[in-house]
Amino acid sequence: MMIFMAISIGHGKKTNKIIGGEMALTPVPYIVSLRDSNMAHKCGGAILDEYHIITAAHCVFYIDRSPKEINQIFFTVGTNIDIVVNQDELYQSSSAFIPMNFEPKSVPSAQYDIAIFKLMRPIKFNANVQPVDLPTQDVIENTRVVLSGWGSQSCSLYSSIFLKKVELTITTKSLCQFYQHVSFNDDSSGLFCTAHHLGACPSFGDSGGPLVDGNTIIGIVSSGLPQYIGSPSFNCKVFDYLRWIDQIRKFTPPKIGCGGGPNPLFRL
């Protein structure tokens, strides 16, 4: 049985991930690890295309809610998150994009909790490194989705270097509202919840991780409630951001001169 641990904004020293779960015996080609300049794993994410990564907006901020230096954020592809990084699998961020209405103080809510990073160089695709597909329809309650992450096998704070996965179910809005004390209205249409029949949930380092149905990304892990074992966790619904994603993929950030410039974090 897996144990729920809280997902933290900004990710402090504790970096718990999925506790338990099955070893991913086959490659998860779209998965990425978001790392800081010390190569410590901070968040999950998924490959959109050769230049873009999708993750959670709160992964862009520190625990004090100040924005991180975007050029000091890196991504690794593949299933191994050992500190020794293959440079061919390491990609530096050049810019990041979050929704205009996202506020770090709103976490945990999952509302507008989506971010896209643009990379300095294109990802080299192969049989084990490929992008996700975007959804063509809204989420359907009781659908099973898969979350992949680098989780501990116990309640220790040490993450596995091996990728793991867990199958979750999209809950009803009423169940989500019961635990999360939120009313689903037009302003919260970008939210949905997932749960596991044994109480399994994502945790700190799983923030930003992709929830997929097949190879289609349905949601992005945002937050949960640690005080209720087995309670649903909040996720950002990708379907509601398709136009926003398309806008960013076509956006060309302003060039920064040799003397440097402002942190390349854009709100669109």
- Return the DSSP state at 218: E
Question: Which of 148, 207, 223, 231 does the annotation list as catalytic?
Answer: 207
Predicted TM-score of the model (pTM): 0.85
- Report yes or no on 68 lying in a domain: yes
Examine the residue annotation and report whether 64 is marked as an active-site residue of this protein. Answer: no
Per-residue confidence band for 104, with pLDDT thresholds at 50, 70 and 90: confident
In a domain, 89, yes or no: yes
Average pLDDT, the chain: 80
Residue 109: CATH number of its domain: 2.40.10.10
Q: Report which secondary-structure segment, H or E, holds 146.
A: strand 144-149
Q: Tell me, yes or no, if 36 is annotated catalytic.
A: no
**Would 139 be classed as within a structural domain?**
no
262 or 39, higher pLDDT:
39
255 in any annotated domain: yes
- Judge whether 80 lies within some domain: yes
DSSP designation for 215: T
For the segment 184-209, the average pLDDT, to the nearest whole number, is: 69
Q: With b meaning 16 or more CB within 10 Å and e meaning fewer, what string describes 69-104?
A: ebbebbbbbbbebeeebeeebebebbbbbbbeebeb
- The answer as to whether 100 is a domain residue is yes
- Which candidate in 113, 152, 159, 231 is catalytic? 113
User: 236: pLDDT confidence band, cut at 50, 70 and 90?
Assistant: very high
Residue 54, domain member (yes or no): yes
Number of domains in the chain: 1
pLDDT digits (tens, 9 = 90+) for 17-53: 444 455 555 689 999 999 999 888 889 999 999 999 9
- Are the C-beta atoms of 53 and 47 separated by less than 8 Å? yes
Containing domain of residue 84, as a range? Answer: 28-131+244-267
Q: Is residue 97 part of a domain?
A: yes
Any catalytic annotation for residue 95?
no
Residue 1 has pLDDT above 60, yes or no: no
Of the candidates 157, 161, 230, 155, the one whose C-alpha atom is nearest the C-alpha of residue 198 is: 230
Which member of 11, 41, 52, 58 is catalytic?
Answer: 58
